[in-house]
Amino acid sequence: MTKKYFGTDGIRGRVGEQPITADFFLKLGWAAGRVFASEGHGFVLVGKDTRISGYMFESALEAGLTAAGVDTRLLGPMPTPGIAYLTRTLRAQAGIVISASHNPYYDNGVKFFSVQGTKLPDDIEQKIERYIDAPMTTVDSSKLGKAKRLVDAAGRYIEFCKASVPTRLDFSGMRIIIDCAHGATYHIAPHVFSEVGAEVVTIGAEPDGLNINDECGATKPEKLAATVLAYRADFGIALDGDGDRLIMIDHKGEIVDGDELIYIIAKARLDRGLMTGPVVGTLMTNLGMEHGLKKLGLSLLRANVGDRYVMEMLTEHSGILGGENSGHIICLDKTTTGDGIIAALQVMAEMQDSGKSLHELKSGMQKYPQILVNVKTNKKMNLDQDEIIQKTVKAIEKKLGDSGRVLLRASGTEPLIRVMVEGQQGDVVKNYAHQIADDVKKVMGA
């Protein structure tokens, strides 16, 4: 059954435009409340990132849940993986995250976690959608839900993150820069890394509701790279607005992306006899990572883009490690969802155990040049059946042979067609990517 509102990562869009409106979130809260109430009695956690519209949507969700007779625990600003953790450990019926992740402040969205700390199953999302389109009612006043703040949420999550690395490790010799993207980790990440012993310099930790992800964080790590060099730090950690992405910067100011970080963690697990199952990447995962893992004797499986699909494939193949080059990294031996802070701690642990720098650790795999061109679109296209585009794609694939790839896909979270070309020669790859993107633009214009 096709879903009307839920996408690959919840519901997301521009604030004030359907469905990202106060009245929709009121109805969504009520619809979710009706479904959760039918599954059994309990409470629902509601957390958010730092964008200004979060206050409005928090109130709307709370009102809807209350009208459905469901109790609410309000967490305030909390990283998405922190809400997943608290949903599981507090045995809440569900966790709701108000966030648009790496998007600008004028976007917002919502995603749900089950009591297991994982994304909601499709059938539950479909039940919620059916209630969204039904008339809203209110339970008897004696059965209305109650709401209260959970004041120790941040402290609980900080301790959980610290416990993901052995206490025997001493990080006191490390100087690190942390960029919190003015997002939900601003009051958490600095404490985690300083409390495990590192010397911490923090940037991007002054949210004002409008500056989340603004020229900072995992999607814009250039400022972090400059700060790492200026402070002569050992490395930098860039998180995104809701804390589920990680990009790192080595001591030379070079970006270390999600593929390289997954490779580092996989090799560390393998060296200690802790690696089980395949590594799961996506259609966007660099060929260099696949070849690097193969040299270690590890296989890579490719899921569709989106951490939901990575998680599904990990579960299906009994894997413990997967993620995306954008920085979503899932360590199932440590937690239940992508977590930027926990992934960074795993990399730090390997640096400490091996005595190697981040720059040295990433050199185990060599990335192929990969060019991504985003084409804005306001309509749906069947890219696989367009003759003009497919003719160009097939011609380029023939020229690349086994040493490259072409991938076209529609973004699941933004109005974009993503054109990716990968190969051994950067200039050639760049020309091919723009050639395909130009064809996409022409077809869209037609």
Catalytic residues: 101
What span, in angstroms and rounded, lies between the C-alpha atoms of 297 and 341? 28
DSSP 118: S
CB atoms within 10 A of CB 317: 15
- State residue 73 phi and psi, 5-degree precision: -115, 115
Q: Are 444 and 381 in contact (CB under 8 A)?
A: yes
- Per the listing, tokens 């096709």 go with 2
Using a 10 angstrom Cβ sphere, with 0-12 exposed, 13-18 middle and 19 or more buried, the burial of residue 155 is: exposed
What span, in angstroms and rounded, lies between the C-alpha atoms of 376 and 256? 27
Helix, strand and coil in the chain, % to nearest 5: 40, 20, 40
What span, in angstroms and rounded, lies between the C-alpha atoms of 299 and 286? 14
Using a 10 angstrom Cβ sphere, with 0-12 exposed, 13-18 middle and 19 or more buried, the burial of residue 372 is: middle
**CA-based torsion, 346, 351, 357, 363: positive or negative:** negative
